[in-house]
A and B are shown apart, each in its own frame.
Chain A
Amino acid sequence: QVQMVQSGAEVKKPGASVKVSCKASGYTFTSYGISWVRQAPGQGLEWMGWISAYNGNTKYAQKLQGRVTMTTDTSTSTAYMELRSLRSDDTAVYSCARDYSVDTTMPGYWGQGTLLTVSS
């Protein structure tokens, strides 16, 4: 079965960077893209971007352009999301999600989420 397992919780200071990992299993990694979505405490879902695990093409949310980088390592079936210049309003649960099918970019299979706390 499809599983997306993320790295553990992080605490960072403002201005720092964080890199969250998402290890996939149960399917052919390069056949599907992966989205990253975040959810601030008590708030709704915010799409951060998407990466093709086939060729590394990316799409990022405009508000995060320049601060976020999404990558994949096909040798370990792992996706990464790096966020730089952290601010307190980056405090959120960050989730990766595999495309539901090969012909859409719709998140279908989600990781368990990684809590990022940004605080001085």
Chain B
Amino acid sequence: EIVLTQSPGTLSLSPGERATLSCRASQSISSSYLAWYQQKPGQAPRLLIYGASSRATGIPDRFSGSGSGTDFTLTISRLEPEDFAVYYCQQYGSSPITFGQGTRLEIK
């Protein structure tokens, strides 16, 4: 199975700053089938990005995804207070679907 490793584990930033989250795969992900989710406490995950770089419906354009092969990045251009949460990457190109361990984005 494809193992996804996210870094950093925790990212401490202030509102208005730029956030860069990384997701590295143990092998190449076919067709860039890489997604990013945001999860807040007590809530279900929310799909942000799919196909490595396409924003899901209703996602603000401050969220962007990039990368291919084994290295992927989620960028939040200017952090809003509601963006502080846990972020997971996920690959859905091969079975089993796998998730990264998550990056916690906290207010500095």
Please give the distance in Å from B101's CB to the nearest CB on chain A. Answer: 5
What band does the interface of chain B fall in when counting residues whose beta carbon is under 8 Å from A? 20 to 34
Is the C-beta of A105 less than 8 angstroms from some C-beta in chain B? yes
**A50 close to B97 (CB less than 8 A):** yes
Is the C-beta of A89 less than 8 angstroms from some C-beta in chain B? no
**B90 close to A110 (CB less than 8 A):** no
Is the C-beta of B72 less than 8 angstroms from some C-beta in chain A? no
Q: Pick the contact of A45 from B45, B46, B47 — CB < 8 Å?
A: B45
Please give the distance in Å from A82's CB to the nearest CB on chain B. Answer: 19
Of B95, B98, B100, chain A has the most CB atoms within 10 Å of the CB of B95
Instruction: Kindly list chain A residues whose C-beta atoms are within 8 Å of the C-beta of B98.
Output: 47
**B56 close to A110 (CB less than 8 A):** no
> Which residue in chain B gives the minimum CB-CB distance to A108?
B47
Interface residues of B in 42-100 (CB under 8 A from A): 44-47, 50, 56, 88, 90, 92, 95-100
For A, the interface residue count at a CB cutoff of 8 angstroms equals: 22
Given A47-B98, A50-B97, residue A104 in contact with residue B33 (CB < 8 A):
yes
> Which residue in chain A gives the minimum CB-CB distance to B92?
A106
Please give the distance in Å from B1's CB to the nearest CB on chain A. Answer: 8
**A113 close to B97 (CB less than 8 A):** no
**A44 close to B102 (CB less than 8 A):** yes
Is the C-beta of B29 less than 8 angstroms from some C-beta in chain A? no
Given A45-B99, A105-B92, A106-B90, residue A111 in contact with residue B50 (CB < 8 A):
no
Given A59-B96, A100-B50, residue A44 in contact with residue B101 (CB < 8 A):
yes
Report B18-50 CB contacts with A as 1/0, cut-off 8 Å.
000000000000000101010100001111001
Residues of chain A having any CB pair with chain B under 8 Å: 35, 37, 44-47, 50, 59, 61-62, 95, 97, 100, 104-108, 110-113
What are the nearest 7 A-B pairs in CB distance?
A: A110-B44, A47-B97, A106-B92, A45-B99, A44-B101, A108-B47, A44-B102
